[in-house]
C-alpha cells in the first residue's frame, strides 16, 4: 500500500509546503502590533476622520494559492491512480478524482444523475478502480447530504472553484478585511461591543484608506483607530471567507475523509 500511495504523498507534501509558505507570509503581514491612528475631528459635522496606512496585498499570495490548489487537486487524481494500480491495471487519460458539478437548479436530481451517469463521465474517471469505489466516493461529494448540508460550503467545492479559476481564467482574487477598534490615548476601548469589520474595496488597495466615524454625542476625548487585518477570498458568491481557514478546511477534509476512504478501498 505504501508504494501505491507514494506519488500521492509526494504531491500532497508539495501542496503542504505551499500552504505553510502562504500561511507564514500572511501571518507575518497581519499579526503585527499596529500603531493607533489619530482621528481628525470635524466638530460641526460630528465626525472623526482617520487616514489609515495600508500595506497592499502581496501578489505572491495569489500565486502560492494557485500552486497549493494545483498540487492538491492533482494529489486527489493520484489517489485514483493508486486505486487503479491496486487492481493490476494502468491509468488512462480520463482517470481522475471526480468532483461532481453542482448546478443550483438541479440539486433535487443530482443524486440520480450521479447514479445514472448518463454520459459515463464518472465511469471513465474510475475505470479500473476496485469494486465499490463509486459508492465510496459518492459520500465525499459536495452534493451528498443535500438539502441538510449546503453543497456550496463544501471543501471539495471550494477546491473545484479555486482550481478552475486559477487553471482556466486568472489568479484567484484576495481582499483585505479590516476590524476597527476605537480607543483613547491610553488605549482604552471607547465603544462597547466587538470591533467593526469591513472589506477594503479594491480601489483603496494602496498606501492608505479613509475611515469616517459619525457620532451623535459630542466626545471630549482624543480618538484613535486601532486596525487589525485578515485576508479573505474575493470570489463572490461562492468564496468570500478567510483564506487560510478555507485552505485549512480543504486539508482537513482530505486528511480525515478522502484519504481514509481510499485506504479502505486499496
Are the CB atoms for 218 and 43 separated by under 8 Å? yes
pLDDT digit string (tens) for 223-233? 899 999 999 99
What are the beta bridge partners of residue 198? 178
CA pair distance 191, 179, nearest whole angstrom: 14
Using pLDDT thresholds of 50, 70 and 90, give the confidence band for residue 46. Answer: confident
Look up residue 236 and give its three cell numbers: 463572490
pLDDT the model gives residue 105: 58
Residue 1 lies in a domain: no
pLDDT, tens only, 199-242: 887 656 667 888 888 876 666 778 899 999 999 999 988 899 99
Task: Check whether 191 has a pLDDT greater than 90.
Answer: no
Cβ atoms of 261 and 136 within 8 Å: the answer is yes
What domain range includes position 84?
A: 6-265
In-domain check, residue 87: yes
Q: 88 lies in a domain?
A: yes
Look up residue 59 and give its three cell numbers.
501578489
**Per-residue confidence band for 157, with pLDDT thresholds at 50, 70 and 90:** very high
pLDDT tens digits for range 2-24 = 699 999 999 999 999 999 999 99
The rounded mean pLDDT for the chain is 91
The number of domains in the chain is 1
Per cent of the chain over pLDDT 90 is: 66
For every residue of 78-121, DSSP letters joined together read: HHHHHHHHHTT----TT---------GGGGGGHHHHHHH-TT-H
pLDDT of residue 219: 65
In a domain, 93, yes or no: yes
Cα–Cα–Cα angle for 218, 196, 53, rounded to 5 degrees: 90
What's the pLDDT tens digit per position in 101-116?
A: 887 558 889 999 999 9
Q: Tell me the per-residue pLDDT of 116-125, one tens digit each, with 9 for 90 and over.
A: 999 999 999 9
Enter the DSSP assignment of 255: I
Q: Predicted confidence band at 81 (pLDDT cuts at 50, 70, 90)?
A: very high
Residue 39 and residue 55: Cα distance in Å, rounded?
Answer: 19
Residues 6+ apart with CB under 8 A from 209: 51, 52, 54, 200
pLDDT of residue 204: 60
Neighbours of 204 (CB within 10 A): 16
Q: Hey, what's the cell of 259?
A: 484519504
- Cα of 202 vs its chain's centroid, Å: 19
1 has a pLDDT exceeding 70? no
Averaged pLDDT for residues 186-192 = 87
Report pLDDT for 205: 60
44 falls in which pLDDT band (50, 70, 90)? confident
Comparing 128-132, 207-211, 246-250, the range with the smallest average pLDDT is 207-211
Q: Residue 178 CB: number of other CB atoms within 10 A?
A: 20
Residues with Cβ within 8 Å of 23's Cβ and at least 6 positions away in sequence, in order, are: 244, 247
Amino acid at each position: 500500500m505504501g508504494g501505491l500511495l507514494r506519488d500521492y504523498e509526494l504531491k500532497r507534501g508539495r501542496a503542504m509546503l505551499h500552504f505553510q509558505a502562504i500561511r507564514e507570509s500572511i501571518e507575518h503581514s497581519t499579526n503585527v502590533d499596529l500603531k493607533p491612528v489619530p482621528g481628525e475631528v470635524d466638530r460641526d459635522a460630528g465626525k472623526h476622520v482617520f487616514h489609515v496606512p495600508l500595506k497592499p496585498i502581496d501578489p505572491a499570495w495569489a500565486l502560492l494559492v494557485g500552486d497549493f490548489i494545483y498540487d492538491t487537486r492533482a494529489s486527489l487524481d493520484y489517489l485514483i491512480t493508486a486505486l487503479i494500480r491496486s487492481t493490476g491495471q494502468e491509468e488512462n487519460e480520463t482517470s481522475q478524482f471526480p468532483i461532481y458539478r453542482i448546478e443550483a437548479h438541479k440539486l433535487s436530481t443530482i443524486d440520480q444523475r450521479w447514479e445514472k451517469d448518463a454520459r459515463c463521465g464518472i465511469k471513465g474517471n474510475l475505470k479500473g478502480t476496485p469494486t465499490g469505489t463509486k459508492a465510496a466516493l459518492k459520500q465525499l461529494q459536495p452534493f451528498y447530504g443535500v438539502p441538510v448540508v449546503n453543497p456550496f460550503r463544501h471543501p471539495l467545492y471550494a477546491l473545484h472553484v479555486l482550481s478552475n479559476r486559477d487553471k482556466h481564467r486568472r489568479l484567484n482574487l484576495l481582499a483585505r478585511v479590516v476590524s476597527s477598534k476605537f480607543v483613547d490615548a491610553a488605549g482604552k476601548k471607547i465603544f462597547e461591543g466587538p470591533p467593526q469589520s469591513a472589506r477594503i474595496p479594491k480601489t483603496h488597495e494602496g498606501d492608505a484608506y479613509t475611515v469616517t466615524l459619525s457620532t451623535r454625542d459630542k466626545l471630549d476625548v482624543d480618538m484613535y483607530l486601532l486596525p487589525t487585518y485578515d485576508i479573505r477570498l474575493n470570489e463572490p458568491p461562492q468564496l468570500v471567507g478567510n483564506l487560510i481557514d478555507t485552505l485549512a478546511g480543504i486539508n482537513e477534509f482530505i486528511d480525515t475523509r478522502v484519504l481514509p476512504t481510499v485506504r479502505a478501498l486499496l
